[in-house]
A and B are shown apart, each in its own frame.
Chain A
Amino acid sequence: MIKVVFFTLLALIFFYIIWVNNVFAPHETYEMPMQYKKIVEDERYVKEGKQLFEQNCQACHSVRYDAVYPSAVQANPNLKALQEQYGKVLPKDVYESTFYTELSQLKESLGKVPPDLSTMYIARGKEYLFNFILEPQKVIPGTSMPPVMAGRPEDTAKIISYLRSVSEPPPSEKAKRTLMGIVTIAYLIIMGILLWVWRGKILKRMGLH
């Protein structure tokens, strides 16, 4: 019995450490006041967030999964034809070769083409993005990202809310997925219990238990 408990605990602790919370390898955490976290999570700020994005970020950044492109690219008449041909998300090589001139100009003035932000919310998380957008030099010293949102934490949170809406499914879909998960797990647990009980009955009948 002791052995069973020992080995079970060992396995559980091991997988907890490597899959859930590795207490030995902490990663950097960033601070973000609760009021701004709430703005990010709030679906109602997404529309305003997108407008703020267009005003402050679209000069340099694209959000390809939302068909948002840097202003110079947006002004290029070829964009519409490409979108008709390829649909919402242009293939990356087609995008980069058609708008080579515009993207090269961005590269020349900033040192590199500013990254596409479609998945940036998942890649970095809201706390990192909040700190980086407000004070780029503090998070990545020497970055060419200018402090466009300096002193505007609330607007920054709204922009992050927009980025969140591009990366994550809408709340209604999220609720559906949660429900799916609960139903699936409940079903499996019930099936497991039923199988166990049924087996018990059959074995008793066979005189084997």
Chain B
Amino acid sequence: MLGRIGRWIDERAHISGLWQSQMVDYKVPKNLTFPYAFGIMALVAFAIQIISGIFLTMYYQPNVHTAFDSVNYTIMKEVPFMWLIRQVHAAGANFFLAIVYLHIFTGIYYNAYKKPRELTWIVGFFIYFVLLMTALSGYLLPWGQLSYWGMVVTTEIPTAIPGALGETISVWMKGGYELGQITLGRFFGLHIWLLPLILLGLVGFHLYLVRAAGISNPEGVEIDKKKEGVPFHPYITLKEGAYVMGYLAVFFFFVFFYMHHFLPPDNFEPANPFKTPPHIAPEWYLLGFYTIFRSIPSKFLGFIAFNLVLLLLLLLPFLDFSPYRSARRRPLFFVMYIVLIISAMALTILGTMPPTPTNAMLGLVFTAGLFSFFLSLPIISIVEWGWYKARGGDKT
């Protein structure tokens, strides 16, 4: 019976052909490592956010007087099981960003941004950027002390731009001179549908590009798919299916037993415009940028600095023009990669610490480390071109 329905659909939609070509005939390298699964985990995390978000919008109220209670009473205590959906969404946002970061650093390691995958990288960068905006706008919604003051800090950052321009941008973000109903209303609208819609489009395009360009190889050499490839299904699908189960097991451990970081206690105090909480800083996924901003004595230069990091990240495929691919084959690149991730992690952790002079100095050191990675890429590329030519054009 099921088979007959399947056949009826297939005669009209021709999907079995799609399954055959995309899943069985599609060949991938045999040596894809565990980090290659971060992409599918990010997709799963995205789906979880959408589904949990849809149900949250049924009960959340985007009004400055009732937002906090709609979350902490209606959702957490009144409607059956909504506490679970809220916890899934809060933990899910953090996990989504964590997986995206791991995915980005995986791509950097294996040089998955090189030809023909530069466009994939660029689209991915915009996914990351829009995702940061989605997370920022979402965090405001519970209207707790951290939500409110975190956004005050964020909307103050454009004032680093000197003159009236910075002030204007800040006021435009807030919709006024302070955070209020206008701000909450517009961030709600952005968060629940405009930004997710843009994300959906970007992710769809990103997936298409991954398929169109073919998956990269950890060794950096493209394989002869016909001879050395394995069918995507079941080789990769079941492997990454099992990895996703592991990811979800870790995820749900946090959801049920350790929400402490994802639902910070300070945010259970309703927003009070007249009282700043003692520890206020952006969420961990933005802390690296925040530390860069904070460490540089000039506010304007700090602003330029962290925007520069974003720009350099976007332009990565063009900064690194070496003929060699994958950190496995590039010892110089490998060393700078270590500098990169140590700096990024250190900058994030420094952001959780109070801004003492020592920490500011360390912030500068690791900011320099971060920049040194990007700036080293053209230099390493030139050196490696030399080696390439000397070896008569051998890419191994």
Chain A residues near B368 (CB-CB < 8 A): none
Mark each residue of chain A from 132 to 167: 1 if its CB lies under 8 Å from any CB of chain B, else 0: 000000000000000000000000000000000001
Q: Is A9 an interface residue (CB 8 A)?
A: no
Give chain B nearest CB distance to A144 CB in angstroms: 13
Distance in angstroms from A40 CB to nearest chain B CB is 16
B65 near A93 with CB under 8 A, answer yes
Contacts of A89 in B (CB 8 A): 69, 73
Whether A19 and B234, one on each chain, are in contact in the complex, defined by CB atoms closer than 8 angstroms, is no
Cβ B284 vs Cβ A92 within 8 A: no
Q: B222 to nearest A CB, angstroms? A: 20
A125 CB contacts on chain B under 8 angstroms:
265
Identify which of residues 209-236 in chain B touch chain A, using a CB-to-CB cut-off of 8 Å.
230-231, 234-235
Task: List the A side residues contacting B348 at CB < 8 Å.
Answer: 14, 18
A202 with B255: CB separation less than 8 A: no
Q: Is A15 an interface residue (CB 8 A)?
A: yes
- Cα distance A181–B255 in the bound complex, in angstroms: 8
Q: Is the CB of A123 within 8 A of B266?
A: yes
Assess A123 versus B73: contact at CB under 8 Å? Given A92-B66, A192-B246, A192-B249. no
Question: By the criterion CB–CB under 8 Å, are B94 and A24 in contact?
Answer: no
Q: Are B94 and A14 in contact (CB under 8 A)?
A: no
Q: How large is the interface on B (under 10, 10 to 19, 20 to 34, 35 or more residues)?
A: 35 or more
In the bound complex, CA of A153 to CA of B241 (Å): 54
List B contacts of A184 (CB < 8 A): 252, 256
Q: Could you give, for residues 121-139 of chain B, a 1 whenever the CB lies within 8 Å of some chain A CB and a 0 otherwise?
A: 0000000000000000000
CB distance from A132 to the nearest CB of B (A): 14
The residue on B at minimum CB distance from A90 is B69
- Chain B residue with Cβ nearest A13: B345
Q: How far is the CA of A202 from the CA of B84 in the complex (A)?
A: 37
Interface class of chain B by DSSP: helix
Nearest chain A CB to B223 CB, angstrom units: 15
Bound form: Cα–Cα A115–B270 in Å: 9
Please tell me which one of the listed residues B84, B261, B270, B279 contacts residue A20 in the complex, with CB atoms under 8 A apart. Answer: B261
Using A11-B102, A18-B284, A123-B265 as known contacts, say yes or no to A24 and B242 having CB atoms under 8 A apart: no
- The residues of B that contact A75 with a CB separation of less than 8 Å are none
Within the complex, the shortest CB–CB distance from A145 to chain B, in Å, comes to 14
Task: Determine the chain A residues whose CB is within 8 A of the CB of B77 once the complex forms.
Answer: 65, 169
A195 CB-CB contact with B under 8 Å: yes
Least CB distance from A100 to B in Å reads 14
Show 8 A/B contacts (Cβ-Cβ < 8 Å), sorted by A. Answer: A27-B279, A65-B77, A92-B66, A93-B65, A119-B268, A169-B77, A184-B256, A191-B245
In the complex, besides A25-B353, A92-B69, A122-B268, 6 extra interface pairs with C-beta distance below 8 angstroms are A91-B66, A115-B269, A125-B265, A184-B256, A188-B248, A199-B242
8 smallest A-B Cβ distances: which pairs? A181-B256, A192-B245, A199-B238, A93-B65, A123-B268, A188-B249, A195-B242, A119-B268
